[in-house]
Amino acid sequence: MKINTAYHTPVMLAPCLEGLALVSNGIYVDVTFGGGGHSKAIFSELSEQGQLVVFDQDPDAQQNAWTAPNFHFVAANFAFLRNHLRALGHLQVDGILADLGVSSHQFDAAHRGFTIREDAPLDMRMNRNSGKSVAALIAEADEQTLANILYQYGELRNSRTLAAALVRYRDNAPIATTFDLIKALERFAPKFKDHKFYAQVFQAFRIEVNQEMQVLKDFLTQAALVLKPGGRLVVMSYHSLEDRLVKNFLKRGSFSGEIEKDFFGNIQKPFTEINRHPIVAGPEECSLNSRARSAKLRIAVKNG
């Protein structure tokens, strides 16, 4: 079974497998199938009694699936994790892996609109069959909404200025492509730091149209319900907003970072972290795969 590295090179493959603590007859879930790199490595460790369920809402990812009695591809967003697992008869599982963010394939497929390197329709939807594109969002949203998106998800301090510039630009011409968006904001791009600036802008709108933060919250909440006591949760994130949510939930059992207690004063948290600090890729992997540079891997065990 060959890993499709042309589609996406799996990041920190060995630490992810180690974090799952695989048993050959276990039930495992990869909620971000993509090129299938992590999934194929997991599947190779399973016996015929083991089960692997994978999720991906991107129709392009399905081409990387394979056929086996104990392999199940779910063409859906992992926000619906629990319902789909129950439909397959899996009320509890042994391990869950989530490799968050955008795949290499999605960045490389210029027509998807994720990259700043080429001019393409301004889309950025993970699932092009649902929701509205970034172009539609920018065309319809009011100035305050645009400012909120840029501030909250792009962490851009001049978000109000940028939002006003987008509104002025769209009054004269549509912002329909990636280069339109870059042109509308080019005078605000810091010299020698323009790439980072545009990456923050694109990230903000991508997170909004895909509702990535809410999806992540829904996923983590459901992961706590479907994992067996002693089951493993392995989550890899690529920006601070994702990592903060994951860290808070694993450390304190809440997304806000506040410790929640029951009536008797016991801390309510479904997981115990295996590693107190996130695992990061080594220099060799980072040199071979640029996506690994920003990856942070957190591993936790479900409390009994």
Residue 71, phi then psi, degrees to nearest 5: -125, 130
131, 193: one domain: yes
Whether 64 and 36 have beta carbons less than 8 Å apart is answered as yes
Per-residue pLDDT at 130:
78
Specify the number of domains making up the chain: 2
24, 86: one domain: yes
The mean-pLDDT minimum among 39-43, 71-75, 258-262 falls in 258-262
Q: How far apart (Å, rounded) are the C-alpha atoms in residues 140 and 42?
A: 43
In the structure, what pLDDT confidence band is assigned to residue 21 with cuts at 50, 70 and 90? very high
Query: Closest Cα partner for 65 from 77, 52, 78, 81?
Result: 52
Say how far residue 225 (Cα) sits from the centre of its chain: 20
- Does residue 7 belong to any structural domain of this protein? no
> Could you read off the pLDDT of 133-191 as tens digits, one per residue?
999 999 999 999 999 999 999 999 999 999 999 999 999 999 999 999 999 999 999 99
Per-residue pLDDT at 128:
79
Q: Which amino acid is at 304?
A: G
Averaged pLDDT, 212-219: 96
In the structure, what pLDDT confidence band is assigned to residue 106 with cuts at 50, 70 and 90? low
Q: Which residues pair with 53 in a beta bridge?
A: 29, 72
> Tokens 């799996």 belong to which residue?
10
Query: Closest Cα partner for 90 from 17, 28, 20?
Result: 28
Q: How far apart (Å, rounded) are the C-alpha atoms in residues 298 and 28?
A: 17
69, 217: one domain: yes
Range of the domain at 284: 13-104+212-302
> Tokens 């903060």 belong to which residue?
244
Checking if the pLDDT of 93 tops 90, the result is yes
Q: How far apart (Å, rounded) are the C-alpha atoms in residues 58 and 124?
A: 11
117, 77: one domain: no
